[in-house]
Amino acid sequence: MAMALQLSLEEYLYRTIRDRTLTVLFQPIVGNQKRAIFGYEALIRGPSNTPLHSPVTLFETAARQGRLVELDVLCREVAIKQFVHLNLPGKLFLNTSPECLFQPNFRTGATLGILKQVGLSPERMVIELTEQFPTENYQAVREAKNHYKSMGFEIAIDDLGAGYAGLRLWSELRPDYVKIDRHFIQDIHDDPAKQEFVRSIKNIARGLNCKVVGEGVETADELDCISKLGIEFIQGYYFARPAPIPVTEIPKSAFQETRENLTQGIGRSLFSRVIGDLLVPVPGITATTNIEETAEIFQRAPQLESLPVVVGHHPLGLVRRTRLMNLLLTRYGRDLHGKKPIMQFLDHDTLMLDRQVPIEQASSLVSEQMKQHKELDFIITDNGAYVGTGSVIDLLEIITEMQVRSARYANPLTLLPGNVPIYEELDHLLREQQEFVVCYCDLDNFKPFNDKYGYEKGDQVIRDLANILRDHVQQEHDFIGHIGGDDFILIFRSPDWQKRCELILDHFKQTAPKYYSREDNEQQGIWSQDRSGNYRFFPLLTLSIGSVRPDPSACKSHHDVASLASIAKREAKRLPGNSLFLERRRRPNCQRPREAVA
């Protein structure tokens, strides 16, 4: 039975190659920055209603029959000719297996010959190496890569992380593109481990001058997440499924569906939300509109609970559906009031919020407003100009979402944001090219204190330090993160950050003695073992703060910032007592003068 099936597959393969009965599907690869199609991946299918319709079965059968190269060349020819026939834009990504490159019947130049035949430039071709079979002959792969490059082709590695030797192949080939396997993209917005993997791949790619493609993107949340991670190209069902005649344009709404992109574009932090995220662009009415005309607008748009009255670009307030309809439903209401100007029924106390107001601040303002008025809509402005309205219901939803995210990534001891949101915030600021100061805070002599007084007392010190930091930062502009243990990160955009650090140091200096016994306070320290097991004297707890102002144009990711901050912290800990150290270097791997402050 097995032999019969094998012969049947062999016959199917023979007929497929002889009759050239392959179907090519194209799936767009979308550029994340330009929000347009960058190119297409060609996906081959065998004849329908046959065992070889699946590409896996098709190529496995060809490999067993020694016809892999023959099939591979045919696939390229079919794909290239159809790509040109459809006049598709951008680059063409063609799959091939490294196994083909060192088959005895492999011949160089076949693809270039096809391109010349149809008039397609080699610069538009990307040879995409898959890992369907193990690859051990890296020398042959390097030679093939050099051959393709010499003809003007670009090289991509497919499904990084799914195959046999992806990282080794990446290191050997130094391709132009690397495509991350869909496993690491699926539900990435809910998986910090996957985010860290993709973030690391992106950082390696930047160092190798390699572009990254995220495969298998199916939802707006996944698109949001990998966009914030800086992935340049996107491929997946979210934009389009593979098709014989594919789409040639991506609607802008595909990007606008993501809340994060409404006001800040690609790269907004999951933990940094503003009221503009709730914006609904409701067209305004003029001050001369009468009540009857306004009622007709409400009837045509039942989803609206209010309408803004705008003069030029200046919002005057909202007209509330409930109040207006109650008026018109009274006896003779329409006859008496229908022709009156709507200004007579305008809510002049409408809350107006600039689109850049943080969600937390907006929540307080809306709550205060609702104590006096139970209305559920407010106006959103941009530097005083009307841009749309917002809903309290939407505000409550986004606050709930933020609280869930914060709880997921918060340090359990202090409830401050942990490593993931710290990375997000730093990368967001770098992408936005914003100036900021990072302060790395670390307790001195904390381990011996823990050893003598116990972990419960140590935890209390850490909680108290977190509260001190909260007391001295400006919540609207600054960010506090808890790396773990006794290490904290402050990200300042407040201009008086140095003064705030000095207040933090002074506050902790006044607080530290309360954690010790009277005897230890009198001797200004404790006797305990150091990390080498030697018994020695340790002074009272102090706080070291290392600060640095990274250059956003030179620091490519949070890794560069972390490196500078770690150097600053190390220097701060060399200073005696509660100390603030200013690292003068702003660029990674750059020798610059330094400055101690306290």
Higher pLDDT, 14 or 147: 14
pLDDT of residue 253: 67
Which tens digits make up the pLDDT trace of 226-276? 888 888 899 999 998 999 888 888 876 677 544 333 333 323 344 457 788
Per-residue pLDDT at 63 exceeds 70: yes
Give the whole-angstrom CA distance, residue 161 versus residue 159.
Answer: 6
Percent of the chain with pLDDT over 70: 85
Which tens digits make up the pLDDT trace of 384-397? 888 888 888 778 77
Per-residue pLDDT at 383 exceeds 50: yes
Residue 500: which pLDDT band, with cuts at 50, 70 and 90? very high
Write down the mean pLDDT value for the chain. Answer: 83
Which residue in this structure is represented by tokens 């800040």? 264
Higher pLDDT, 431 or 270: 431
Which tens digits make up the pLDDT trace of 581-592? 999 999 987 645
Per-residue pLDDT at 164 exceeds 50: no
Which tens digits make up the pLDDT trace of 522-564? 999 999 888 888 889 999 999 999 999 999 999 989 999 999 9
Residue 13: both structure tokens together? 């393969």
**String of DSSP letters for 67-119:** -HHHHHHHHHHHHHHHHHHTT--SEEEEEE-HHHHTSTT--TTHHHHHHHHHT
Angle of helix 220-228 versus helix 419-431 axis, rounded to 10: 70
pLDDT of residue 102: 58
Q: Specify the pTM.
A: 0.46
**End-to-end Cα separation, the chain, in angstroms:** 84
Report yes or no: 468 and 507 within 8 Å, Cβ to Cβ: yes
What is the maximum span of the chain, computed from C-alpha positions, in angstroms? Answer: 95
Domain locations in the chain? Answer: 20-43+69-257, 276-397, 413-596
Give mean pLDDT, residues 128-138: 63
Give the whole-angstrom CA distance, residue 505 versus residue 497.
Answer: 12
pLDDT of residue 508: 96
| 413-596 fold | Alpha-Beta Plaits (3.30.70)
Cβ contacts of residue 20 below 8 Å, gap of 6+? Answer: 74, 78
Write the CATH number of the domain with boundaries 20-43+69-257.
Answer: 3.20.20.450
382 pairs with which residues across the strands?
Answer: 385
pLDDT of residue 590: 60
Q: How many CB atoms lie within 10 A of CB 444?
A: 21
| 276-397 fold | CBS-domain (3.10.580)
Q: How many CB atoms lie within 10 A of CB 395?
A: 21
